[in-house]
Structure 1
Amino acid sequence: MNFGTWPALLVVDVEGNGTTPPDLVEVAALPVRDGSLDKTTAKAWLTRPNRPVTAFATRVHGLSNKDLADKPAWSEIADQVHAFMGTAWICAHNAHVDYGVLRAHLPGWEPAGVLDTLRLAKKTFPGLGGYGLDALIKHLQPDLSEAPAQRHRATFDAFATAQLLIAMASRYETWDQLIAAAVPPGLPGAPEPEKDPTLW
């Protein structure tokens, strides 16, 4: 894989307050350039949700209402997040969730495409048995020694997802092969189905 052929790409992860639909409490965006994580330009935002964080959500990601009480409301940072995301490709684990939540919070935002490391893992490692982030970390054993925060925080999960993406992408020869394996149907960047040349 020639990583230099990749378009602008951000690995993203979001954490919510536990409600349905969720309010955001954390967003992380980590650029991948030339097959490496660009930690120097990575961004992360904590935001105070409109509705309280549920006890269950706090147990998962560790962010409590007290932690977020002095953080900006989403309306105060939405423009910053939108500007940073731009029209770059994004990648996430189980990407339709992160994409859907971000789209709901960023009206008018549309990435060039969406890679899903969950879908990619199923294509790359058929029969693995489990495809959650923890299972893939155990299988591929990426170097997470420099990952910020801890598992289930957006910054850690984006870092881990980026490492997994690079490891799996190295098994493909071209960007087009990668997107064919990693972009879910119906999401931006999905390859167009081949048209039957015999049909008008």
Structure 2
Amino acid sequence: MGAAFATAVGLAAITLAVSDFATTALGRALCVTTRFSFLLFWVTYTGGALKTLFGVAFQPVAWRGRDFGLAFAAAHLVNIGLFVWLCRISAQPPLSPPVFWFLAIGTIWIYVVALLSIRRLARAIGYLRWRMLRVAGMEYISLTFLLTFVGHRLHGSASGILLYVPFATLSLAGSFLRLTAWASRGAIATKRA
């Protein structure tokens, strides 16, 4: 968690230092930290699916899902701080109210899922409720990233394509992997029954 947070701070600081600390620089730093935290989320989100689909080679990734998830939550704190800073210095809100609330709910889910990683709390609410909340939260977070990357208009520039297309592809691939793993587990369970 500490390493992920420090890396996100470092990425933001470098981006701001290279730029001029203005509104556009904050936007760039937000882009960089969003992508870094997304990569941590993606490993968390797909680790179990990769193990199910591709075997024990991905077992260490699946076992470390909680660690990657907490690292993601820590790194995303930097993103939240940058966004608050951007809101404070912007003449007008950087996001429309519907987009703001959609992303705010995603942020709330990040920390609800992080809280659910506390084993004592998970046991207290029961496995089924814990599982339902965790899956709902992970899917909502995935949807916020997907819409962030897929919903952005590309202006035809190479940097625009590099900033969005690989991450949109990973986001779509993550959902596909999870859906395929779910179907695979269902097929295996049906054969055993």
Scaled to the shorter chain, the TM-score interval is under 0.3
Pick the structure with more helix per residue.
Answer: 2
TM-score (norm 1): 0.25
**TM-score, normalization: structure 2?**
0.25
Larger Rg: 2
